[in-house]
Chain A
């Protein structure tokens, strides 16, 4: 079955360490997104990528980095520069590049920084 796979589901890291969250999709979708969600809050856009080798900053990109070397993969690195990295991270993808149509979400990765 096609879908989006995020890993790991839970991750614990010490303060000051970089962390990379994986997002893989086999839906042949062009655009991919990373969102952050804090308790009781909505989703905030970190980065998005419309096509391979191109990505754009969202509202809260500071302290994060991404790459899009392959269509099916869009990993997110939470760097030590991110002041409050503990959060629920969601990856999504959509067919086409105009953001019209259904967004497919992964199950999320919950990062806790100790």
Chain B
């Protein structure tokens, strides 16, 4: 089962890369790691997910360590609109129910 831990908050300067870490030391071999973000009072938005290879899409990059015990979400050029709570999650339980923790509150500052 994949239980995840993330820092409570992080700051990033506008235009710089935001690197958000996540530990998932209990993840099993066939469990994906997912990243979502939530802007205040809206439903969470999917960002990216991966299994063991690094992934990139138009929103972000996901770097997963070789042992799969941790990953980093990278927003290459953070903007003020990237200010949000970022959740790293993995399926838990035999039914694969997705569990969200408190996430990391990212504040992008001018």
Contact = CB atoms under 8 A, between A and B. Distances in A.
Interface of A: 33, 35, 41-45, 48, 50, 56, 58-59, 88, 90, 92, 94, 97-108, 110
Contacts, number: 61
Contacts of B87: 42-43
B43 A33 contact: no
Nearest to A108: B43
A104 B102 CA distance: 19
B100 A43 contact: yes
A98 B99 CA distance: 13
A33 B97 contact: yes
Contacts of A100: 32, 91, 96
Interface of B: 32, 34, 36, 41-46, 49, 85, 87, 91, 95-103
8 contacts: A41-B102, A42-B85, A43-B44, A43-B100, A92-B43, A100-B96, A103-B34, A105-B44
A105 B96 contact: no
A27 to B, nearest CB: 13
Nearest to B91: A99
Given A42-B103, A99-B91, A103-B46, A108 B41 contact: yes
B100 A107 contact: no
Given A35-B100, A99-B97, 7 more contacts: A45-B97, A45-B99, A48-B95, A98-B91, A100-B32, A108-B41, A110-B41
